[in-house]
Amino acid sequence: MWRLLLGLIVVTSCSSSPDAAFQPPASPPVASPTPARSGVLAAVSGPDDVIRLMGSDGAVVASAPSAPARYRQNFLMPWFSATQTRVYFLYGGSDVRYLTPRGETGSITRVTLAPNQQAGISVSPDDRRIAVAILNYTPPPGSQTVVNPPTYDGMRLYVEDLHGGGHHADIFASTEVAEFPIGWINGRLVMAVSSPVCCQLLAINPYGATSYHVIDPANGVRLADLCPNSLGPVGPVEPIGTACWEDHAEPRYQRWDGSPFPTPTAMTSPFQYLNALSPDGTRVAAGGAQIRILRGGQGDDQLGEGGFVYGWLDDSHLIYEPVGGTIRAFDLFTRTSVALDRSYYYLGVFPAAIS
């Protein structure tokens, strides 16, 4: 959930030696796909421990029971992953289950964890591979929360076949940094550089990330670095790339190969009410007492509603939360909004925003 808090920040690299057991064909260079997101659903969860797929009209399309991990020190490390056909989620922190828009659900694999470990996952868009980050801690006696922060003992990252666990490749390990997978782009893996214990300040993106690394899933070699030396990426990931919030400078916009793309607009501070770049990179939704669509020289579009902007469901719908209210979807054409059930947590879009 976006309204969790951001703690200490660690910025590092992700690299390792190739794993000889798995050598896939060479992938094309990282590039930005043409945004095409119609019929997109919102994935949400609530206090009843149920994950739901919902339309922009607020109707529940499919649902399945979920259960939070017993041990979570980084509350923003993803336990949810969308592909083109399914959503996957960690049930109880280690059992990887799936849900389809037709309501089909089941268990597909399992992450082996010790009581002092936390896992985050990302499944490839074709449902063939899964990337898993495992963070290790030495908790103070009797502590299960971030009230008494644990000692961080490092992490490891591996990629393997989703079905059966074959072609297992351990591609990165560190005793200091905290990185975890948040998506795939043209066969490459997108990693959030975050904090071992997260979060104590409002995060300007859903992952508590200070930057993103795009890496080769076969060996962990870094191929692109987004938002380095900035105050962090703004909003959720989008097909075109991301916006980087700069200290005392205009925001910087980067594609997934690390190259810049034209600045669509100046941006208000994302730290109080959050901002979100549109899927095609032409607009920014800025939260506040009055939510606005910033369009760079074309005049701001005031929506008549206020709150925290969590992201774009598609090109014409925003996901936001009024202060003290329930998560809602706003239709930019009809100028109306609907509540997304009793949901407290917005997890992301289905199908995957980046793939």
Whether residue 313 has pLDDT greater than 60? yes
10 Å Cβ neighbour count for 301?
14
Q: What is the DSSP letter of 198?
A: B
Q: What is the mean pLDDT of residues 235-262?
A: 93
* CB-based contact 271:224 (threshold 8 Å): no
Q: How many angstroms separate the CA atoms of 183 and 30, rounded?
A: 13
Per-residue pLDDT at 47? 87
Per-residue pLDDT at 330? 97
190: pLDDT confidence band, cut at 50, 70 and 90?
A: very high
Closest CA to 119 of 91, 141, 150: 91
Predicted TM-score (pTM) of the model is: 0.86
28: pLDDT confidence band, cut at 50, 70 and 90?
A: very low
142: pLDDT confidence band, cut at 50, 70 and 90?
A: low
Q: What is the mean pLDDT of residues 135-148?
A: 68
Per-residue pLDDT at 148? 67
The two beta strands, 201-202 and 87-91, are: unpaired
Q: What is the mean pLDDT of residues 276-292?
A: 94
Mean pLDDT over each residue of the chain, to the nearest integer: 86
Domain 5-15+40-350 fold is: Methylamine Dehydrogenase; Chain H (2.130.10)
Per-residue pLDDT at 208? 95
* CB-based contact 328:337 (threshold 8 Å): yes
| Lowest-confidence pick of 96-100, 117-121, 165-169, 338-342 | 338-342
Q: How many angstroms separate the CA atoms of 144 and 200, rounded?
A: 16
Per-residue pLDDT at 17? 34
Per-residue pLDDT at 19? 34
Report the percent of the chain where pLDDT is more than 90. 73
Give pLDDT tens digits for 314-323: 999 999 999 8
264: pLDDT confidence band, cut at 50, 70 and 90?
A: confident
Whether residue 144 has pLDDT greater than 70? no
- Decide: residue 330, CB within 10 A, 0-12 exposed, 13-18 middle, 19+ buried: buried
210: pLDDT confidence band, cut at 50, 70 and 90?
A: very high
Per-residue pLDDT at 6? 33
Distances (CA, A) of 341 to 42, 67, 78, 321, 325: 11, 18, 22, 12, 12
Distances (CA, A) of 334 to 284, 311, 329: 19, 18, 12
Between CA 161 and CA 294, with CA 43 as vertex, the angle to 5 degrees is 115
206: pLDDT confidence band, cut at 50, 70 and 90?
A: very high
Per-residue pLDDT at 20? 33
Q: So where are the chain's domains?
A: 5-15+40-350
Q: What is the mean pLDDT of residues 165-189?
A: 96
Answer left, alpha or beta for residue 303, where phi above 0 means left and psi between -120 and 50 means alpha: alpha
Higher pLDDT: 141 or 59? It is 59
Whether residue 3 has pLDDT greater than 60? no
